[in-house]
Amino acid sequence: MRQLLKRNSVYKRLNINQLISISCLLCRADTPMNKPVCNLCIQALPIADKHCLLCGIPVLANSSDLCARCVQKKPAFDICHSAFNYEFPVDHLLKKIKYHQQLIYLPPLAEQLSRTLLHHYDGKVWPQAILPVPLHNKRLRSRGFDQALVLARQLVKNLHPYQQMKLETHLIKRQKHTDPQQGLQASQRKRNIKNAFSLTGTPDYQYLAILDDVVTTGETVSEITRLLKQQGVKRVDIWCLARTPV
Ligand SMILES: [Zn+2]
Ligand SMILES: [Zn+2]
């Protein structure tokens, strides 16, 4: 096919991706081969625009900068940046990635997270490294891949032209096999995640970014933040593709 196209003079003026199209994974409209989701669908995704300035949960457009929970008690981490609200179709896409290994959906979502981060850290100090939330070996074996690590690699690649980010994958270990946090009551989540992680050494960082695909109550990322801060890390930002309202 490519050979044929190369011989065609039209090819010389057009990018091959414009000639070979595939169906958008969401609406089935034609989209260039390098874009699994069409531009219209990307623009319609629920971007996290109005959110609590600390924990990142979606808040109403006319409400204050902090959610009611953060006004009462600040989270363990310093700030949470989310690309999207956990709403349709983002929730649907994230489940396809996580439970059906359809990693093709990840790059368009990671692209928006990269944009969100570039916007926020413009002129500011970036974290020294990205620390993806680790999976327990048992879950890694059953799922076959670590979605936070795949996302982290994609982000490092996306951010590379602007900011070179180190990937930290050895500092934190998940020592307890826990039930998935989604579907548990708030008190159960806390108990479920307690002592789930351990440090493999003393952190050589002042400032880190913890990365996960979805942040729900924030118990998981708060637990890791507490561990890091107990060992001298001064600031911990949370990065995620989507933040749930609770
Ligand atoms: Zn589409
Ligand atoms: Zn908040």
- Tell me: pLDDT of 204 over 60: yes
**What percent of the chain shows pLDDT beyond 70?**
88
Q: Which residues of 211-222 are buried (b: 16+ CB within 10 A; e: fewer)?
A: bbbbbbbbbbbb
Q: Give yes or no: residues 123 and 238 share one domain.
A: yes
Q: Which residues of 169-187 are buried (b: 16+ CB within 10 A; e: fewer)?
A: eebbebeeebeebeebeee
- CATH code at 94? 3.40.50.2020
Summarised one tens digit per residue, pLDDT across range 102-151 is 888 899 899 999 999 999 999 999 999 999 999 877 777 777 778 999 99
**How far, in Å, from the CA of 217 to the mean position of ligand 2?**
10
Ligand number nearest to the C-alpha of 35: 1
**How far, in Å, from the CA of 4 to the mean position of ligand 2?**
56
Residue 40 CA to residue 104 CA, distance in Å, equals 18
Residues near 179 by beta carbon (within 8 Å), at least 6 away in sequence: 192
Enclosing domain of residue 83: 46-243
**How far, in Å, from the CA of 230 to the mean position of ligand 2?**
22
**How far, in Å, from the CA of 181 to the mean position of ligand 1?**
31
Q: Give yes or no: residues 84 and 178 share one domain.
A: yes
Q: Which pLDDT score, from 0 to 100, does residue 15 have?
A: 46
Q: Give yes or no: residues 101 and 200 share one domain.
A: yes
- Tell me: pLDDT of 178 over 90: no
Q: Give yes or no: residues 201 and 234 share one domain.
A: yes
Q: Give yes or no: residues 186 and 115 share one domain.
A: yes
Q: What is the mean pLDDT of residues 204-215?
A: 96
**How far, in Å, from the CA of 97 to the mean position of ligand 2?**
27
CB 243 within 8 A of CB 134: no
